[in-house]
């Protein structure tokens, strides 16, 4: 028996690209900024279809964020595109002052996030971006789990008209396992599998890893709930509280540093509402390195196997 089927693979960044094409058609105010990585972040299709609404700003991410703020000020819907590290880390203060503090409805769309960007190595692996963006007041932070969810999230982000959105997704092709009938609402976690012994709260690529882990654990008669926490901010507190109450043990899983990401967000909330044993599946306070995405997920302990061990650890701590 399997909990959820996957239907082929596609890159989450392609979901972003396909959403842009639809938005370009639907909304004349949508404008896209590119920083000399148009092909890899996949804004090239939009640039070709809507050349009047695409602007190359050169390799200049700080400039890009300021330009996005200016465009938003005059009523445009700017989509700023870059790799995760250069979308969040490089222009942090520009985002903080001109976009977040000033409540500009800019969409910061970060492809190539996490360690799975792979061979490029640590300089290009944004493992701190959710931390940086989550800490900013007014910011919405979304980390979708597959191609279609990325596409839906990008489109849904236009509904947020006050304040910016930061969206992180990935380079590699990854399993597609959501469809149009899967619930998706920004700020609302989605239960992918029911369970009573523990809950895995995952975001991004770790959602699929969590589904697989749950499936394997079921063979050992451990029943795990899987929550897709695609919105890191604002957090779906209700779903977390419910999981803590009903399963009494939490594992969080993300392609990010262990500090200040999804795991921390969940722990911060539970510490105040209902302290619950929690294990963190995340990169353990270290920089990454070159290698292929799958090997790195294994070496840095953020794959299915890491989730399985974390579930077993947390069950031992459960009262």
Partner 1 sequence: MPQSNTQKLDHKGLEEMARQIRRDIIKMLLISESGHSGGPLGVADIFSSMYFNVLRHDPKNHNWPERDYFFLSAGHLAPVWYATLARAGYFPIQELTTLRKINTRLQGHPAPAYTHGLPGVEIASGSLGQGMSIAVGCAIGLRLDKKPNRVYVLHGDGELDEGQIWEGMMTASHYGLDNLIAIVDRNFCQIDNRTDKVMQLEPLSDKWRSFGWNVLECDGHKIPDFLDAIGKAKEHMGKPSVVIAKTFMGRGVSFMEDDYRWHGVPPNLEQAKKALSELNPTEFGDFIEFDWEKELVTAK
Ligand X SMILES: Cc1ncc(C[n+]2csc(CCOP(=O)(O)OP(=O)(O)O)c2C)c(N)n1
Binding site for partner 1 (CB under 8 A): 34, 36-40, 44, 56-60, 62-63, 85-86, 89-90, 118-124, 287, 289-292, 295-296, 299
Structure tokens, 22: 């639809």
User: Least distance from C-beta 284 to ligand X, angstroms?
Assistant: 26
| Of residues 86-115, those binding ligand X (CB under 6 A) | 86, 90
| Residue 268 appears among annotated catalytic residues | no
**Three-point CA angle 221, 222, 225, nearest 5°:** 135
**Three-point CA angle 105, 107, 237, nearest 5°:** 85
User: Least distance from C-beta 122 to partner 1, angstroms?
Assistant: 7
| Of residues 225-244, those binding ligand X (CB under 6 A) | none
Cβ atoms of residues 108 and 167 within 8 Å: yes
Residue with tokens 């693979």: 9
Pairing between β-strand 140-142 and β-strand 231-233 as defined by DSSP bridges:
antiparallel
In this complex, which beta carbon is closest to partner 1, that of residue 83 or of residue 177? 83
**Three-point CA angle 172, 21, 292, nearest 5°:** 5
| Of residues 243-302, those binding ligand X (CB under 6 A) | none
In this complex, which beta carbon is closest to ligand X, that of residue 37 or of residue 203? 37
Per-residue CA distances from 283 to 13, 96, 112, 169, 215 (Å): 22, 25, 16, 17, 23
| Of residues 23-42, those binding ligand X (CB under 6 A) | 36-37
User: Least distance from C-beta 90 to ligand X, angstroms?
Assistant: 5
277 binds, among partner 1, ligand X, none (CB under 5 to 8 A by kind): none
Query: Cα–Cα distance between 300 and 295 in angstroms, integer?
Result: 9
Given the residues 26, 61, 185, 220, the one annotated as active site: 61
User: Least distance from C-beta 54 to ligand X, angstroms?
Assistant: 16
| Of residues 3-22, those binding ligand X (CB under 6 A) | none
183 binds, among ligand X, partner 1, none (CB under 5 to 8 A by kind): none
Size of the site for ligand X (CB under 6 A): 6
In this complex, which beta carbon is closest to partner 1, that of residue 64 or of residue 214? 64
User: Least distance from C-beta 258 to ligand X, angstroms?
Assistant: 25
In this complex, which beta carbon is closest to ligand X, that of residue 94 or of residue 276? 94
In this complex, which beta carbon is closest to partner 1, that of residue 123 or of residue 238? 123
Just list the catalytic residues: 61
Contact residues for ligand X, defined by CB under 6 A: 36-37, 59, 61, 86, 90
């Amino acid at each position: 028996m399997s909990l959820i089927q996957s239907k082929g693979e596609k890159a989450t960044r392609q979901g972003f690209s396909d959403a842009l094409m639809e938005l370009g058609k639907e909304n004349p105010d949508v404008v896209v900024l590119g920083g000399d990585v148009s092909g890899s972040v996949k804004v090239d299709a939009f640039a070709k279809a809507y050349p009047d609404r695409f602007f190359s700003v050169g390799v200049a991410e700080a400039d890009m964020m300021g330009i996005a703020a200016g465009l938003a000020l005059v009523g445009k819907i700017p989509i700023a595109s870059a790799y995760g590290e250069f979308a969040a880390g490089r222009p942090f203060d520009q985002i903080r002052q001109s976009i977040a503090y000033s409540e500009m409805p800019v969409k910061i769309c970060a492809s190539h996030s996490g360690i799975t960007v792979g061979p490029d190595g640590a300089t290009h692996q944004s493992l701190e971006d959710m931390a940086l963006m989550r800490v900013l007041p007014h910011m919405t932070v979304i980390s979708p789990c597959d191609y279609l969810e990325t596409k839906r999230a990008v489109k849904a982000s236009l509904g947020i008209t006050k304040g910016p959105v930061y969206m992180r997704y990935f380079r590699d092709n990854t399993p597609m396992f959501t469809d149009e009938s899967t619930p998706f609402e920004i700020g609302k976690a989605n239960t992918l599998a029911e369970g009573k012994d523990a809950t895995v709260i995952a975001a991004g690529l770790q959602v699929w890893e969590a589904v697989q882990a749950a499936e394997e654990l079921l063979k050992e008669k451990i029943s795990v709930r899987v929550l897709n926490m695609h919105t890191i901010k604002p957090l779906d507190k209700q779903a977390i509280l419910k999981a803590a109450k009903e399963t009494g043990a939490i594992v969080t899983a993300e392609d990010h540093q262990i500090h200040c990401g999804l795991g921390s967000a969940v722990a911060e909330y539970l510490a105040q509402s209902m302290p619950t044993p929690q294990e963190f599946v995340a990169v353990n306070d270290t920089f990454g390195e070159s290698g292929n995405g799958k090997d790195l997920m294994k070496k840095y302990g953020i794959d299915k196997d890491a989730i399985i061990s974390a579930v077993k650890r947390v069950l031992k701590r459960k009262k």
